[in-house]
Structure 1
Amino acid sequence: MKKCRILVLVGIFALISGIKAQDYAFKVMANKGSNEVKSGSVWQALKTGDKLNKQDELKVAENSYVALVHSSGKPIELKESKTYSIADLAAKVSPGASVVSKYTDFILSSNSAEAKKNRLSATGSVVRALDGDINVLLPPSQFGDTFNPLVYIKWETKVAGPYEVVAKNMFGDELMKIETPENAIQINRNDPKFMNEDILIEVRSKGDKKKTDKSYLLRRLSSERQNLIKKLIAEMGEDIQQETALNKFIMAGFYEENKLFVDAIGAYEEAIKLAPDVPTYKEAYEEYLLRNKLKKPVEPSK
């Protein structure tokens, strides 16, 4: 009997916790402009990470942008300048996939003030340094798995262009060479030149081939893991397939959570391309690179 009472109490506690966990209508994922939220009788500045309740109102300013995720997992973007009733907005939202909340929570916690403070206390600075002449923003080879065929390759450098990006197979045979004046390119893993091979990427100065970075491995997922990732994406619902900056942002969190760091880079790049004037996405991308040690912070010179 005592055991039954304990189980009942545990069940009630879990139910109450679940209700409390969903006592909001929307979470704010991104924010650009002088947007405001009214809780009670007071208007205050909207902040990324805020939770909006049904009794609240949201004022979107001119030339502004707000990205929200409903408590059910439905992502929406607001660009029209007007005052929204959160209750009305929630009533118009068709249910999303609840699993999306797992990744939005991951994104918000990873980019919280506390997370940044912890990273800065560990690194000591926000000043970035170049280890060598060219620093490619790709993960170490053991994390070079790629799910998507399109791969973004970007580098930081003090060396003037043009640059050469060389792709080789595991035997050192050159498969492709691209010359570019820019510090970024995109390659397609489905290019017949690659013939389903794992490839090594090297970026170097065209004028001085000694000015380079180490090689980075881009590796195809096994069929088993490829199918698993497809299944996990399908569980996020059809809404996430739409080409919006918010969806790309959420997918960046999904890829990072699943240790697909190359794909996360691509998702951030695409989010910024779709919403180039929204600082949230650029700041989150920078934080992602630092958090995963793809950019190295050092102590500023004194």
Structure 2
Amino acid sequence: MTLGLHHSKLVAQSASMHAGNLSVATDVVASDKDLRCFKEAAHKAFPYALQIDAALPTSTSYLKLVDVPYIANDKAITPDVVIAHLGKSGISDLTVLQVPPRVVRDSRMSDMCTVYLNVADSVSGARAKALIGRGVQFGRYVAYVRAARANPGLPLCQRCWKWGHPTPACRAPQSKCPICAGPHCKEHHRALAGCCKGNAKVNPPIPATPEGAACPHPARCMNCRKNHASDDRRCNFWRHHFDRDWIKARYDEVSAKCNSRSPPAHHPAGRGGRT
């Protein structure tokens, strides 16, 4: 069966019903236009149905664009620029992105980068098969689609709020608050943090933060040391949470600064003592 009457060339090869859901196998992956045609045809076939929807089985294919120019017009490429080039390419109908593209420079001195794409796909991976090997034009360069491994990025511990280990593997002696770094969980910040619990004994009294309201005081990130909470997605660590080397380098910098500020070790014999 074809959907030619609905201006679609999609061919339905077989269909089966299970638990009130109609599953239709097609020759290629249905586009958004094809899904609308299916929905229209289903409404005509089942006029008394209360609710009809058409959607693809959910799956993710992990792909990458290699040899993408990192610098264009004296500016670093951004996910929005990548999306614009994908929209102008001949594969725009196939690149249904689940999240914005992730741009990773090949090296600090390189003028090229790799762009990682999480593409919404059918269970069989039909879109990925159709995309691999295809090219996308970036000025005078052509970047080709290759298969990539799934990369969930580094985990952020929900106990100490440091990157690089999952919460069950945390070895910190106690939990920390991502807002103020105090020895309590985020849910108890208002009741236990000095900035929010208030103090009625001082003059003038310091009012407590209203229940249910967000902390209005400056936060302190335990990772980048800037004025935001450690779980704030605007943090540079969030932006680089796929880049293990970058995060390790930043932690090494912080450790080196802390060591340089620490006082020299006390001589075992004491000041002016003999060895």
- Where relative contact order (Cα < 8 A, 6+ residues apart) is larger, the structure is 1
TM-score, scaled relative to structure 2? 0.23
* Structure with a larger share of its residues in helix: 1
Bigger radius of gyration, 1 or 2? 2
TM-score, scaled relative to structure 1? 0.22
